[in-house]
Structure 1
Amino acid sequence: METRELRYFITVAEELHFGRAAQRLGIAQPPLSRAIRQLERRLGVALLERTSRAVTLTEAGAVLLAEGRAALEAVDAAARRTRRAGAADTSDPGLVLVAKAGASSELLSKLLDAYAAEPGAVTVEVLLCAVAEQERLLRDGRADVALLHRPFDSTAGFDAEELCTEGQVVVLPATHPLAGRVHVRMAEVAALPGLPMPRWPGPDGAYPDGPGPKVRDTAQLHQLMALGRASAILPESCRAQLHQGLTAVPVLDAPAVTTVIAWPPHSRSRALAGLVRAATRL
C-alpha cells in the first residue's frame, strides 16, 4: 500500500462521505473513488459499504482505519526523527524529554542535574504535557525520550528502564475524618462523601462519565483538592507538592506505580544513551 492511498482511505473513513473527503483532500471526487476501489482490489476485501444515502465502514475497513492511522503516525515520526538526526550534522539539536506536568518533579530535577554533569551532555528541552500525552508525543517523533508511569501508561513498542516503584496515597483535606488514619483501603476511598475522584482523559482525549471534576494535569488537580472539591489517589511522591491543609494517607490495596524512562527502540543517539545511563544511576 502507498501512504497516499492510506491517507485517502482514512479521510473517507472519517468523513463517511466521498464529497466531503475529496474537498478536505483538495482533489476531485472521481479520482478519490478510483483510488479507494483500487485499494480494495489490491487487498481483496470491501472496505466501505456504499449506498445512495450513506457510506459505512465494513469490519475490514474498521481494521484498516486503526492500522492505517498507526502506520501514518509511524511514517510522520520517522520523518521528524530523520530531520532531527540530519540537523545533528551541523548543530547540536539536543534532546526532547516529555513528562507529565506535576509528576516525578523531584526525579526529573535530579535527572537533569545528573545528566548536565556528564561529559558531552547536550541541551535537554523538557515538554510538560497533560495526562496520557507523553506516550503519544514519544510515538509520533516529537519527543526523543519520556518518563512514563505504569500501569497508567503503556510502554509497548518502546525500550524502557525502570527507575523507581512506589505505593499510592489518597490526598484529603487535613480536617477529614480519614486524615488521621495510618492507612485506608480502596473501598473506603470510593465511599468518601463530597470528595469525588477526578476524571482523567483517555488516550482519545474523551472523559469517562461520572460525578468527579474533569482534570488534565496534577497542578489543576492539586488546586481542586486545596479548594475541597476533590480527592485523589496519587503516587507516594506527590507528598512533596501538597498544598497546605492537605494530607496523604497510604492506600494499602492500590496498585504500585513504576516510573520508567522510555525511548524508541531504533534510536542510535549517543546523547540519549547518556541520559538513560544517568537516569538508571540515580
Structure 2
Amino acid sequence: MNGLDLRRLEYFVAVAEERHFGRAAERLRMTQPPLSRAVQQLEDQLGVRLLTRTTRRVELTPAGEVLLRDARTALDAVAAAERRTRHAAAPSPTLRVALKADLDAGLLPAILAAFAGEPEACEVELVLVGIGEQAQALRDGRADAAIVPAPYDAAGLDAEPLAAEPTLLALAAADPLAALDPLRLADLAGYVLPGGRPADQFPAEPGSARTSARPSRRHTVADLTEILRLVEVGSMVAFLPRSVTRRYPRPEIAYRAVADVPDSEFSLAWPQQATSRTVVAFVRAAEKAAASAPVA
C-alpha cells in the first residue's frame, strides 16, 4: 500500500474534529466538494469506512477513532520535525521555553538565573501559550522545554517535578462564602465550572473558573485578567495556585483555602527524544532553583 497522503490526513482530522464538512471546509479555507473527495479517497485507500455521514452531522466509526488519534500524532510529528530542523539551523542557539503567564510557581526568574550560570547556557525565548497548551507546544516542536501545571498530557514527554503549593479559591469579597475559612468542596455545591462541570467536583486545571449559582450570563474567559475581573463582580470564582494569588492582591477579591482540594503541582517537561545538552542544562538549572526555593 502506498503511504498515506499528509494533506488527506489533515483534511480528515479537520472533519473529525468539527464533526461537520462545512465547518471543516471553512477551517481549512477551502470549498466542501474537494474536501469530501479527499476524505473519500482516504477511505478508499484504506479500504475502511472512517465516517458515518448524515445531513446534519458526521460521526466517527471505530476505525475513524483510531485514525484520528494516530493522525494527530503523525501531523504533530511532521510539524515538529519542520520546526526543530529550522530551529537547529538558526545562526545562534536559542532555548525555547513554553509556559502560561503566571503559571510558573514563581520559579521562572530563579530558573533563568541558574541557567545563566551553566556552561551550556544560551539565549532563552519564552513561548507564551494558553492554559493546557504547554505539553502540546513540546510535541509539535514550538518549544524545547515547558513549565507545566498538573494535570497534563505526558505522552511523549519526560518531566521533573519542581514544586507543589496550596490551591486557593478566589471569590468576591462580598460573597457569603468568604466568611468561611477554610472552605470545603461541599460548600461549593451549586457552583459550576465553565462548560457546566460542578465546582464541588474539582480538581480541574489551575486557573479554572465557574459561573455563579445565581442566574447570570455564561462567560467565556481568555486570560487571568478577565477571570479576576469577573470574580470581583461576583460572576465567577476561580481555583488558583497560591503564587498567582500573591501576585494579584485585590481588595474586591478574597482568597480562601479549601481543605479538601489538592495542591497545585508544577513540573518541567521536555520531549523524550531530546538529546540537546542545552535542554539537559536547563533541567539541571530548574532542579537547582526548585531545591533552593522557599518551602510553600
Relative to the length of structure 2, the TM-score reads 0.74
Shift of 1:9: 4.5
Pick one of 216, 221, 224 that aligns with 1:218. Answer: 224
Distance 1:37 1:106, change over 3 A: closer
Kindly name which structure, 1 or 2, has the bigger radius of gyration based on alpha carbons. Answer: 1
Pick one of 44, 68, 73 that aligns with 1:65. Answer: 68
1:278 aligned residue: 285
State yes or no: 1:268 paired with 2:275: yes
CA distance in 2, matches of 1:54, 1:111: 48
Pick one of 206, 231, 240 that aligns with 1:234. Answer: 240
Distance 1:23 1:3, change over 3 A: farther
1:199 aligned residue: 194
CA distance in 2, matches of 1:23, 1:109: 42
Q: 3-state SS of the aligned residue for 2:125?
A: strand
What are the superposed Cα offsets for residues 207-263 of structure 1, whole Å, 9 maximum, x if unpaired? Answer: 999965322222322232234432212122223112321232111111222100000
CA distance in 2, matches of 1:148, 1:159: 12
1:46 aligned residue: 49
Taking only aligned residues, the RMSD between alpha carbons, in angstroms, comes to 3.9
Code of the aligned partner of 2:246: A
Give the aligned length: 266
What are the superposed Cα offsets for residues 57-85 of structure 1, whole Å, 9 maximum, x if unpaired? Answer: 53312321332122111121122112212
CA distance in 2, matches of 1:183, 1:16: 50
Q: Among the aligned pairs, what percent are the same residue?
A: 34
Code of the aligned partner of 1:255: P
Shift of 1:278: 0.6
Code of the aligned partner of 1:213: H
Distance 1:113 1:57, change over 3 A: same
Distance 1:66 1:111, change over 3 A: same
Distance 1:56 1:250, change over 3 A: closer
Relative to the length of structure 1, the TM-score reads 0.77
Shift of 1:16: 4.5
CA distance in 2, matches of 1:213, 1:264: 35
Shift of 1:116: 2.0
Code of the aligned partner of 2:245: R
Contact 1:115 1:274 in 2 (8 A): yes
CA distance in 1, matches of 2:210, 2:11: 27
CA distance in 1, matches of 2:57, 2:237: 46
1:103 aligned residue: 103
CA distance in 2, matches of 1:50, 1:240: 51
2:172 aligned residue: 173
Q: 3-state SS of the aligned residue for 1:243?
A: coil
Shift of 1:154: 2.1
Gaps of 5+ in 1: none
Q: 3-state SS of the aligned residue for 1:273?
A: helix
1:247 aligned residue: 254
Q: 3-state SS of the aligned residue for 1:106?
A: coil
What are the superposed Cα offsets for residues 172-195 of structure 1, whole Å, 9 maximum, x if unpaired? Answer: 33444443544111121345xxxx
1:123 aligned residue: 123
Contact 2:193 2:211 in 1 (8 A): no
Distance 1:60 1:190, change over 3 A: same
1:76 aligned residue: 79
CA distance in 1, matches of 2:164, 2:81: 32
Contact 1:197 1:230 in 2 (8 A): no
Code of the aligned partner of 2:45: L
Which shifted more, 257-266 or 4-13? Answer: 4-13
Q: 3-state SS of the aligned residue for 1:231?
A: strand
Distance 1:224 1:198, change over 3 A: farther
Q: 3-state SS of the aligned residue for 1:266?
A: coil
CA distance in 1, matches of 2:76, 2:148: 20
